[in-house]
């Protein structure tokens, strides 16, 4: 699935006033610091990851944490 389709799922979970967070996620996919989950995420798992991400200011560190939620190490 192209990352644009995954971004569309994410956009549904981010409030309008959290547009900086969405922009940070979009940049993360474009610059390669974020990758789509290797294993499909349920809507609930994705919503939880996004909710945790939006509790902090978007930054390189918070993007890294979000990337870890998308692709947890087993």
The pLDDT score that the predictor gives to residue 23 is: 95
Maximum Cα interatomic distance, the chain, rounded to a whole number of Å: 34
Domain total in the chain: 1
Average pLDDT of the chain, as a whole number: 92
pLDDT digits (tens, 9 = 90+) for 1-28: 678 899 999 999 998 788 999 999 999 9
Reported pTM: 0.88
Residue 46: which domain range?
A: 3-70
Token pair belonging to 41? 């995420």
Residues 67, 29 contacting (CB under 8 angstroms): no
């Amino acid at each position: 699935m192209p990352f644009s389709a995954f971004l569309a799922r994410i956009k549904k979970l981010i409030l309008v006033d959290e547009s900086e967070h969405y922009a940070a996620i979009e940049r993360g996919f474009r610059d390669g610091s974020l990758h789509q989950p290797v294993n499909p995420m349920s809507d609930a798992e994705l919503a939880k990851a996004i909710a945790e991400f939006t509790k902090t200011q978007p930054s390189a560190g918070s993007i890294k944490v979000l990337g870890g939620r998308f692709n947890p190490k087993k």
